[in-house]
Amino acid sequence: MENFFKLNNLYGPEPYKIWLGSSLALNVTKPEDLQIILNNSNAFDRGKLAKMLSGAFGEGLITTSVPKWKIHRRIISPFFNTSSINKFLPIFNENSAGFILNLQKELRNSESFNIWDYVNSVSVNSICEAALGHHRDEEDDDKSEFFYLVRKITERVNARLKKPWLYPDFIFSIYGKITGLNQMYENLYKFPNKIIKEKKSLYVQRKKTNHSSLNLTNNEDKQRPIFLELLLELNDEGAYFLNNDLRDEVLTMIIAGSETISITTCFCILMLAIHQDIQDKVYDEIYQIMGEGDRKVTIEDTVKFVYLEQCIKETLRMYPAAPVIMRYLQDDVKMSNYTIPKDTTIFIPIIVTHHLPELYPNPWEYNPHNFDPEKVAKRHKYSFIAFSGGPRNCIGEKYAMLLMKVLLSTFLRNYSVHTKCKMSDIKLKFELSLKNADGYQVTIRPRNTKPTYKV
């Protein structure tokens, strides 16, 4: 991570060439350039990194080839519109309430604790219910093994990135056999395959009962959607998702929908613990909107959480869960002053763009006012790309923002959060996603005006 910034200080902010192992790439950080690249249809391919990830986690929206991505993105997009996402609010409220109850054991502990596991549990349970209809109180050994294997496989893929001699697929295949990685892949698929098989069976039974299509895609008054059921319905309408397509999209949804949200939420909690004045301001906003009592968060409440949203975005600016993305040019791309030739790998260190002092004065200072409307209006649109940009941006942005608002507001209504950690203590590490090397150590105290939740 340090090298990203050292290189930019030496050679940026204009594009410059860098070596990524044995591959030559063009480093691009300026928002004006990023807008052109990320919106050019010749730059939709995600290059070698996506191919390495697809070997581990399948060919979902994040990793698949451009032709397949175009088809799947168009088919899947309705699941992520505002109307569909808002129907997940009961799930988010229920899991946030469970989060509050689980944290009560830490009130008796005077020592700091890493809040990661608590937060990750909420994001995992929420996405499993949204994507698979798999409820958090369902005990499932395959589910536990699944997330264990996600961690282990991520470690192996990350190790591959650091060892260019493992880049050739033939060599990595041998490495996979020797280290047991290939067996990990097979075991990883057990959980999603089992759920897909169960849902397919239920889907067929329900269709027989109704003697017609379930009409999940057109009925606005239907119960909240389940991603897998939507894909099965779309298959009946000619989408033609093969079993591997279903599995890979479900894999992508679960992994991306839990890891990135957990990282951002934990970083945000840590920032609020370090900056007590900002935490107080967030709490005041929540209290003014929610008042006392135990009512659940509504969609109208989340729209009013303006300062909380600014805190989340400032966290994403400083610590984007995906600090680096890549593009591979399938044809020449014309910029304002030059042309980038076909077959060039574009290296986009989002975290560097987010810390350019000409965009964000004092860029390593946590300042939610960076996202005051008047300041946002003065900056280039692509100065903030935590969810990437252009047609191949993150499809789950609305889902992530809603869950984080519900989770953080529920947490801060019940507890104040504190830490001995200072900004200077944070050590970033890059393992496909960005994390704090020492975790997210905090202590919590009950609020005086604390609603009581029942799950």
Distance (Å, whole) CA 420 – CA 442: 8
pLDDT tier at 138, thresholds 50, 70, 90:
low
Domain architecture of the chain: domains with CATH: 2-446 (1.10.630.10)
Q: 366 and 314 in contact (C-beta within 8 Å)?
A: yes
Supply 244's token pair: 């591997």
> Could you tell me where the DSSP H helices lie in 138-242?
141-161, 169-179, 181-188, 190-210, 227-236
Q: What is the mean pLDDT of residues 383-398?
A: 94
Distance (Å, whole) CA 24 – CA 27: 10
3-state secondary structure of 336: coil
Measured in whole angstroms, how far is the alpha carbon of residue 425 from the centre of its chain? 24
Q: Which long-range contacts (CB under 8 A, 24 or more apart) does 137-141 make?
A: 140/191
Q: 327 and 40 in contact (C-beta within 8 Å)?
A: no
What pLDDT score was predicted for residue 299? Answer: 96
Q: What is the pLDDT of residues 149-186, one digit of tens each?
A: 888 888 888 888 888 888 888 898 898 888 888 888 88
Distance (Å, whole) CA 433 – CA 324: 8
Q: 403 and 256 in contact (C-beta within 8 Å)?
A: no
What pLDDT score was predicted for residue 220? Answer: 42
Q: What is the pLDDT of residues 87-104, one digit of tens each?
A: 999 999 999 999 999 999
Burial class (CB in 10 A: 0-12, 13-18, 19+), 395: buried
Is pLDDT of 221 > 60? no
DSSP for 38-69? HT-GGG-B-HHHHHHHHHHH-S-TTTS-HHHH
Distance (Å, whole) CA 301 – CA 152: 39
Q: Is-above-0.85 flag for pTM?
A: yes
pLDDT tier at 223, thresholds 50, 70, 90:
low
Q: What is the mean pLDDT of residues 337-357?
A: 93
Distance (Å, whole) CA 54 – CA 248: 9
Distance (Å, whole) CA 277 – CA 274: 9
Q: What is the mean pLDDT of residues 235-260?
A: 83
